[in-house]
Amino acid sequence: QEKLAESGGGLVQPGGSLRLFCLASGGILESTTMDWAWFRQAPGKDRVFVAGITWRGLTYEDSVKGRFIISRSNSHNTVHLQMNNLKPEDTAVYYCAARPRTSLSSEIGNYDYWGQGTHVTVSS
């Protein structure tokens, strides 16, 4: 059975860094022909796209450009989100998502597989 499991969240001060991990297991998720993305949902708000990685390249939401880096380790079936210079407005639950490879840019379209989320709180 396919599963995505996020980890690495926590409490960090403004200006600090965190590295999120998404471990993929089972079936199609262990294939290299997948689109991957991170989304986040702040309290009282909708879930929104943060960063994605597909065969087309990397895509970032404007507010995280230059601060966040998405990457994937094929050999370990993990997707990472390195978050630097964190701000209070980055506080949210962060979700890893995946879908079979598409021709779409990663911020467009639906994702079929989701993790349970990991909490990130940026506060002094």
- The pLDDT tens digits of the residues spanning 57-90 come to 999 999 999 999 999 987 768 999 999 999 999 9
Bridge partners of 109, per DSSP, are none
Convert the pLDDT of each residue in 34-65 to its tens digit: 899 999 999 999 999 999 998 889 999 999 99
| Burial classification of residue 7, based on how many CB atoms lie within 10 Å of its CB (0-12 exposed, 13-18 middle, 19 or more buried) | middle
Please provide the DSSP assignment of 67-79 as one string: TEEEEEEGGGTEE
The tokens for 8 are 């690495």
